[in-house]
Amino acid sequence: MQAGHFSPGSSMYSARDNFICFGGTEGYNIFFPDDVKRSAFKPKVLITGLQLFNKDVEVGEKDHILSKTINKADEIVLKPNQSVFRFNM
């Protein structure tokens, strides 16, 4: 990949040769979608925390959402008014 920035509107697609070209401040890049291979790697996802309205939820706090650490919890039940949440990973 080139350094610098890609220029807006500077891409082109060639159906005949099946490639996409992107132009930028340091040259251009050619991408061949058919050459992309699917990976068999399946990363382990570990949830390490929960935030509710941008504040950390601790075990036994905030209406007892978590009765044990989040990575040991079987389920998490939120009320309709607890609509802004985020998982930390």
Report the largest interatomic distance among the alpha carbons of the chain, rounded to a whole angstrom.
61
Instruction: Give the pLDDT confidence score for residue 11 in this predicted structure.
Output: 79
Q: Which residues contact 55 (CB under 8 A, 6 or more apart)?
A: 62
**pLDDT tens digit string along 21-30?**
888 888 888 8
Cα dihedral sign for 67, 59, 87, 65? positive
Helix/strand/coil for 8: strand
DSSP 8-state symbol, 19: E
Amino acid of residue 17:
D
DSSP β-ladder status, 27-31 and 19-24:
antiparallel
Amino acid of residue 88:
N
**pLDDT tens digit string along 42-79?**
999 899 999 999 999 999 875 778 989 998 988 888 99
